[in-house]
Amino acid sequence: MASLVRAACLTNYSAVARASGLDPARMLRHAGLSTNVEREPDLLIPVERVGQLLQTSVIMSGNESFGLCMAESRMLSNLGAVGMLIRDQTTLRESLDVLMRYQLLLNGSLSLMVESHDDVVVIREAIKAGKPQQPTRQRIELALGVMLRVLRQFLGADWQPRRVCFEHPAPQDLRVHHRMFGYGIEFCADFNCIVCAKTDLDARNPSADPAMARYAQQLLDASTPLQRPTMLEDVRRTTLLLLPSGRCSVEQVAEHLGVASRTVQRGLAEQGQSFSSMLNDIRMELATRHVVESDRPLTEVALLLGFSAPSAFSRWYHTQFGCSAKESRAARATGQPE
C-alpha cells in the first residue's frame, strides 16, 4: 500500500517554485498532482508523487534548498486539527507526544522519535524512500524545517537548536540552512535530528488553553478517527530509526515498542512477514540511499545498515544487487546501468 501524506505538506510550493523560476502548475501536473492541491490541505496524496515533484523541482531550478525554502514560513495551522491540539498543550514535551501519536494522519512515510541523553534531547526523523525509490534529501529537509518551526512556536522565533544533523552531504550553497538553523549543522551524520536542551521541552507554555485542547481533541477524534498502525508499520518505523545506532535486533525493537519479542514475531507473521525479511527490505532501501546517492565511506555504510563488519556488508550487498557497492558507485559516476 502506498504511503499517503496530507496535501498541506505542499504549503508554499507554488511561491517557492515561482521564486526559483518554475511554473508551479506545470510542475504539479507533471508529478500527477492537481494544480489546486495547495487549496485542499486535508486531501491525502501519495508520498511518491510529492517526492517526484520536489526532486524534479530541484533539478529544473538548480535550487538545492527547495524543500527547506518551503518550510521557512510554516505555521502550526498547516498541521490542521493536529496543529490545534499541539498549540494548547501545557509543555513542548506534551506537544511532541501529540505529534508522534498522530504522525500517521499527517505523513505515512515519516518516523519520529524523541530520545533523552543526560541534559539534551534528540528529536530524530527518518523517511521511507518509497517505490520507486527516490532521493529523500528534500523531504527530510522539509520535515526538519517544519519541526524547527513547531519548536519555535513554543520557544520563540529567535530560539536556536544546539545542533541539527542531516544524513546527506552539504549543498554547495548553505545560506538557506544557516538562515533557518544557524551554524550548528552537521552533514553526513548517522541520522537526521534536531538536538536541544532537555529543559526546552519542559518549559511551560504560557498560551496553553486546556479547554481549547479538549475541544481540538474532540474535533480531531470525531473527524479523523485514529487508525492504529499495524505491527508491520510499527516495526518498520522503529527499525528505520534504530538501525543506524546498531540497536536493531527483534528483542530491541520489541523493547522499544513495549511488547514481547514473540508478540512482534507473531504480528509480523499474521501479515506474511518475518523480522528478517522486513529488516532486509529496509537495508536494501538504505543501501540505495547511502551507496548510490552519497559518497559516504562504505565502512560507514556497513555500520549504518547494522552490519558488524564491512565484509558481511559486502557479501550481503552482492547477493542483493548482483554487484559490489564499489561497482554501483562506479556505474553512478559514469551514468551507466549496473
Domains of the chain by residue range: 63-211, 231-334
- Rg value, the chain, Cα: 20
Q: How far apart are CA 105 and CA 74, in angstroms?
A: 18
For the domain covering 231-334, report its CATH number.
Answer: 1.10.10.60
CA 166 to chain centre: 11
> Residue 232 burial by CB count (10 A; 0-12/13-18/19+): exposed, middle or buried?
middle
Instruction: Kindly give, in sequence order, each residue whose CB lies less than 8 Å from that of residue 319, ignoring residues fewer than 6 positions away.
Output: none
**Residues of the chain where predicted confidence (pLDDT) is lower than 70:** 1-2, 129-133, 223-228, 246, 333-338
CA angle centred on 98, ends 3 and 190, rounded to 5°: 60
According to DSSP, the β-strands at 163-165 and 185-186 are parallel
Q: Which three three-digit cell numbers place residue 233?
A: 508499520
Cell digits for 68? 527547506
Give the pLDDT of residue 338. Answer: 47
In the structure grid, which three cell numbers stand for residue 214, read together?
479538549
Alpha carbon 260 to its chain's center? 27
The answer, as to whether pTM is greater than 0.85, is: no
